[in-house]
Amino acid sequence: MNDANEISLFPLNTVLFPGGLLPLRIFEARYLGMISECMREQKGFGICAIQSGDEVGKAAQCYPLGTLATVTDFDRGEDGLLRITVHGERRFRIDESWVEPDQLQRARVSWLEEQDAPLPDERKPLVELLVRLLRQAGMPVSEVSAYFDSAGWVAGRLAELLPFALSDKQRLLETDHALERLEILYHDLLAEDITR
Classify residue 176: in a domain, yes or no.
yes
Same domain for 159 and 134: yes
Same domain for 96 and 20: yes
Domain count of the fold of the chain: 2
Same domain for 62 and 44: yes
Classify residue 1: in a domain, yes or no.
no
The dihedrals phi and psi of 126, each to the nearest 5 degrees, come to: -65, -30
Length of the chain: 196
Same domain for 94 and 156: no
Tell which of 112, 147, 173 closes a domain.
Answer: 112
Per-residue pLDDT at 25: 93
CB 143 within 8 A of CB 111: no
Characterize 35-64 residue by residue with b for buried, 16 or more Cβ atoms within 10 angstroms of its Cβ, and e for exposed.
beebeeeeebbbbbbbeeeeeeeebbebbb
Report the first-to-last Cα separation within the chain, whole angstroms.
50
Greatest pairwise CA separation for the chain in angstroms: 52
Provide the whole-model pTM: 0.89
Residues of the chain with pLDDT under 70: 1-2, 189, 191-196
Other C-beta atoms lying within 10 Å of the C-beta of residue 175: 17
Domain hosting 60: range is: 6-112
